[in-house]
Amino acid sequence: MSQLRIAEEEVEVSENLNAMAESQRPIGLSDRDDSRAATSRLRMRAHEVDVHYGDTHAIKKVSMDILEGEVTALIGPSGCGKSTFLRCFNRMNDTIPTCRVTGEITLDGRDIHAEDLDVVQLRARVGMVFQKPNPFPKSIYDNVAYGPKIHGVATSRPEFDEIVERSLVRAGLWEEVKDRIGEPATALSGGQQQRLCIARAIAVDPEVILMDEPCSALDPIATAHIEELIYELRGHYAIAIVTHNMQQAARVSQRTAFFHLGTLIEYGATDEIFTNPREKRTSDYITGRYG
Amino acid sequence: MGGYCEAILAKALRSVWDGNDALAAEVAKDDLSIDRLDVAIDEGVLKALALQAPVAEDLRTVMAIKMVATDLERVGDLARNIAKSARRLAAHDEAPTIPAMLVSLSRASQSALRRSLDSFARNDTDLARVVLDDDDAVDDLQDEVIRDILRELESHPHGASREVDVIMVAKHLERVADHATNIAEQVILVAEAKNVKHASKLAGIGSEN
């Protein structure tokens, strides 16, 4: 019996499908990270840190890392201590008289509370962006040039020009302000002002950028710009962000730390925390059953 | 995943036409790749939902991806089953007569699959509707194949065990086309937010939707 020979028919695998498979189809911001060679080197480490405001025990033996190439989100209900803890990393709590910080915090292995450590230098290396944008009452240019000037990072005009432009480019603001760089910073929109503050922090070449609810005062579009910016910045700086917006934490971070009443309840990879948290309190918080 | 499915189905069918046992044996292993992709897609969809909280068309797209992956995983299994039939057919001393209608059915079924995947990739609801409209014809082809074989068996019952496998291949191919219609339904759901699943059945009982 002969077999019925069918003419060889190549099945053209749908070209569109192949194209789809090959093209980068990012599912979301924090998901694109694997293709970039993001190093996860330790930048800052907090070890058994306690913070007291007078008699109030605000932070209880918290240990946590901030890694380069990653965004670490600090989440938790109001009053849980996340902003207090964030401020430890650049010793901003020093400015609060009743505040007492104990435990060890290091930057690149060096204790930031060491006697011989210059705290002003620390705050250049570990920059901070606040909830309410706080541009200086100066021109856009002078806002960004201020840090490099007082730190002696630049001396000549061309050097300042270069730093200002580079910082504004990296903060995603250059195109919008390059033709009015001598104008007052206060004339900018809220979202632009916040990006200016980020440019200001970047201008002194930090290693770490701390962000305390940077989008809380912004509308959704401006927020989206900042989140995109955070994604871009992640390749250059270690970033820690306090946010009360859990969705934001889920979108932008690779690591999440959940705080509750001053205690670090859970700290791990963001995709694990949001798909399968270990602690019931974490689960209760992120599903909205509590807090 | 779609690409793998089309390829594995083609390979399974080739192993039937050629009586190629070795080729048929490969199909089971190939199906594992499809299963792996199905698991990976499960994880990807879960992550996307948890981390991005998509809404509107994004949400429909993510849901559709999971649905389509499930249908494709079944197509992979059907290809594996076709290959199993191929191996049984190849084991006979006498090769069975492959009815020409079965070849037509296989072409229709593969075409339905390819078109449904194209429509998904391109968000092409017109092409998706073509797949849905053509499905009745595929069912008819399957019925004809089976009718012809049963008629043949009445006069030549000795070939029954072979013909059973031919019938099974026909049934599997009809199921592949069914999965293609599921994929096409997802395309319309994503693009138009219109759920056309079970449309003819639901219309039949005077559904108020």
- Best of A15, A16, A248 to substitute, by most chain B Cβ atoms within 10 angstroms, is A16
Measured torsion, CA atoms of residues B179, B182, B184, B187, in degrees rounded to the nearest 10: -130
A212, part of any domain: yes
Q: What is the CATH number of the domain that holds A255?
A: 3.40.50.300
Between chain A and chain B, how many beta carbons pairs sit less than 8 Å apart? 79
Identify all chain B residues contacting A16, using CB atoms and an 8 Å cutoff.
Answer: 117-118, 121-122
Of all residues in chain B, the percent with pLDDT exceeding 90 is 79
Q: Which domain holds residue A195?
A: 38-286
Q: Is A16 on the interface with B (CB under 8 A)?
A: yes
According to the model, what pLDDT value does residue B72 have? 97
Whole-angstrom Cα distance, residue B115 to residue A14?
8
According to the model, what pLDDT value does residue A7 have? 33
Domain count, chain A: 1
Domain B2-204 adopts which CATH fold? Methane Monooxygenase Hydroxylase; Chain G, domain 1 (1.20.58)
Q: Is B10 on the interface with A (CB under 8 A)?
A: yes
Whole-angstrom Cα distance, residue B37 to residue B44?
10
According to the model, what pLDDT value does residue B207 have? 45
Q: In chain B, where are the structural domains located? A: 2-204
DSSP conformation class of A25: -
Among A62-71, B89-98, B127-136, B189-198, which is the least confidently predicted range?
Answer: B89-98
The pTM score is 0.79
Please say if the pLDDT value at position A275 is more than 60: yes
pLDDT tens-digit readout, B15-67? 999 989 999 999 999 999 999 999 999 999 999 999 999 999 999 999 999 99
**ipTM associated with this complex:** 0.73
CB B184 within 8 A of CB B116: yes
According to the model, what pLDDT value does residue B154 have? 87
Identify the burial level of B80 via C-beta atoms within 10 angstroms of its C-beta, where 0-12 means exposed, 13-18 middle and 19 or more buried.
buried
Band (pLDDT 50/70/90 cuts) for residue B97 is: confident
A22, part of any domain: no
A244, part of any domain: yes
Whole-angstrom Cα distance, residue B14 to residue A265?
58
CB A201 within 8 A of CB A212: no
A183, part of any domain: yes
| Nearest C-alpha neighbor of B145 from the set B116, B121, B173, B119 | B173
**Tokens read off for A88:** 């430890």
Q: Indicate the residue of B14, B51, B114 with minimum beta-carbon distance to A270.
A: B51
Closest residue in B to A13 (Cα) is B3
Identify the burial level of A106 via C-beta atoms within 10 angstroms of its C-beta, where 0-12 means exposed, 13-18 middle and 19 or more buried.
middle
Of all residues in chain A, the percent with pLDDT exceeding 90 is 82
Q: For residues A85-105, give the mean pLDDT.
A: 96
Q: Indicate the residue of B17, B52, B103 with minimum beta-carbon distance to A27.
A: B52
CB B170 within 8 A of CB B147: no
Judged by CB atoms closer than 8 Å, whether chains meet at B17 and A6 is answered as yes
A43, part of any domain: yes
Q: For residues A209-224, give the mean pLDDT.
A: 94
A16, part of any domain: no
Band (pLDDT 50/70/90 cuts) for residue A291 is: low
Identify any residues that bridge with A56 across adjacent strands, giving them in sequence order: A53
According to the model, what pLDDT value does residue A106 have? 97
- SS3 for A194-259 is HHHHHHHHHHCCCCEEEEECCCCCCCHHHHHHHHHHHHHHCCCCEEEEECCCHHHHHHHCCEEEEE
A19, part of any domain: no
A224, part of any domain: yes
Please say if the pLDDT value at position B206 is more than 60: no
Q: Is B51 on the interface with A (CB under 8 A)?
A: yes
Identify all chain A residues contacting B114, using CB atoms and an 8 Å cutoff.
Answer: 11-12, 14
According to the model, what pLDDT value does residue B205 have? 58
**Three-point CA angle A119, A60, A125, nearest 5°:** 20
Q: Indicate the residue of A17, A271, A274 with minimum beta-carbon distance to B117.
A: A17
Whole-angstrom Cα distance, residue B108 to residue A259?
59
- SS3 for A139-195 is EHHHHHHHHHHHCCCCCCHHHHHHHHHHHHHHCCCHHHHHHHCCCEHHHCCHHHHHH
- Number of H helices and E strands in chain A, helices first, is 11, 10
Q: For residues B100-106, give the mean pLDDT.
A: 94
Please say if the pLDDT value at position A27 is more than 90: no
Q: Is A94 on the interface with B (CB under 8 A)?
A: no
Closest residue in A to B122 (Cα) is A16
For chain B, the maximum distance between any two Cα atoms, rounded to a whole number of angstroms, is 64
According to the model, what pLDDT value does residue A11 have? 37
